[in-house]
Structure 1
C-alpha cells in the first residue's frame, strides 16, 4: 500500500504533459472560432459582391447603356460584375417591379428565391420601366456554405432544414430602386 501511495504522489507531482492537456482543451475552441470567422468573411464578401453587381447593372439601365433590360440580360450583367458568386446565373432570381409614386402600392415583403426542391422554377414578375419610371429590382441568390459542418455554416443549414426550397443553402438578397433617366432613342436622332 505504501508503494502505491508513493507512486500516486509521484504521479500527482509530475507536471510533464501539462502543456499538451491545455493545448488539447483550448485548440479546438480557437480553431472553431477561426472557421466561423472564415465562413462569416466569405458570406460578407459574397454579399458585398452581390450588392456591387446589382448596383453596377442598375447603373447601366439608369443611364441608358442597357435600354431594354431582360431577365437573362440582367442576370448576366449582375453575375459579370459579381464574379466570385458560384453558379451565379443558375442560382439567382430577379424581380423587377415598376411603381407609380402618385398611386403607391407597397412592394411585397416576401422575396422570391430559387427553389432547389423543384427542377423548373416558377415565373417571376419582371417589368421593364420606361423613361422617368420608378423601378425596384431585387436579386436573391442561393449559395452553399463553404464549411457546412462547422459553426456558422452548420447553423445556416440547420435554420434552413424546414425549408425544402433552401436545400442546405442560404439566401443573399440585394435590392435597388431607381428612376430611369430620360434618354434619346437612336431612332429619334
Structure 2
C-alpha cells in the first residue's frame, strides 16, 4: 500500500489539467465581464448618437413639429442596435428659458414601465419655436446581454430601486439645442 501511495504522489500526469480547472473560470469570468461591458458601451454610444442626430434634425428644421412617435422613430433609426427600441424608449422634450431664473430638469428621468410596454405616458413634449432652448432626454430599458455574469448582475442591482426595473438597466441620453431662427412655423 505504501509503494502504491508513493507511486501515486510521484506521478505528474494530469497536473496541467488541474491548473486549467483552477485558472479557466477566472479568465472566462473576465471575458464575460469584458463582453458585457462592450455591449453596454456600444448601446450607450448608439443611444447618444441617436439623440444627437435627432436633435440636429430638429435644430435645423428637418423635423418641424416633433411629437413622441416621430422622435422615437428618428432616435431608433439612428441607434440601430437597441433591442425593441420603439417600445422600450421613453423621451422627454422640455423648453427652458435661459434669460429667466434657471429651472433645472427633474432629477428623475422617466423610463418605460416594462409591465405595460404599450402605455402612453403623455409626458412633456413642448412645441419648439424659433430661438427656444430645448432639452431632449431619452431613456431606454435594456436587459443585460449576459445577466448571470458578475457585471450583468451589478447592472441589475444598480437599478433595483427603480420602478419597473426588474431584470433590466436604464440607458439615458440628453441633448440640448436652440431652434434656428430661420425655421418657418
Query: Alignment partner for residue 33 of structure 1, among 30, 35, 49?
Result: 30
Q: 2:95 aligns with which of 89, 95, 98?
A: 98
Q: Compare CA radii of gyration and give the structure with the larger one.
A: 1
In 2: Cα distance, 1:157 partner to 1:184 partner: 43
Residue correspondence of structure 1 range 134-149 to structure 2 within 5 A:
134-149=133-148
The answer to whether the 8 Å contact 2:58/2:64 transfers is: yes
Q: Where do 5+ consecutive residues of structure 2 fail to align?
A: none
Is 1:24 the counterpart of 2:52? The answer is: no
- CA shift for structure 1 position 5: 1.8
Q: Distance in 2 between matches of 1:178 and 1:184?
A: 14
**CA RMSD for the aligned pairs?**
1.5
User: Residues 168-187 of structure 1: CA distance to partner in whole angstroms, max 9, x if unpaired?
Assistant: 1110000011101012428x
- The CA distance in 1 between the partners of 2:93 and 2:165, in whole Å, is 22
1:5 & 1:124 partners in 2: Cα distance? Answer: 81
Task: Indicate the residue corresponding to 2:76 in structure 1.
Answer: 79
Q: What is the TM-score with the length of structure 2 in the denominator? A: 0.93
Q: Could you tell me how far 1:123 is from its partner in structure 2?
A: 2.4
**Gap change, CA 1:184 and 1:49, over 3 Å in 2:** closer
Match of 1:111 among 99, 102, 109: 109
Query: Corresponding residue for 1:57?
Result: 54
Deviations 1:78-136 (A, max 9, x none): 00000111100100000111001111211111111111234535321111221000001
Structure 1 window deviating more from structure 2 (158-167 vs 95-104): it is: 158-167
After superposing on structure 2, the runs of 4+ consecutive aligned residues of structure 1 that deviate more than 6 Å are none
Q: Distance in 2 between matches of 1:152 and 1:121?
A: 32
Query: Would you say how many aligned residue pairs link Structure 1 and Structure 2?
Result: 183
Superposition deviation, residue 149 in structure 1: 1.1
TM-score (norm 1): 0.91
Gaps of 5+ in 1: none
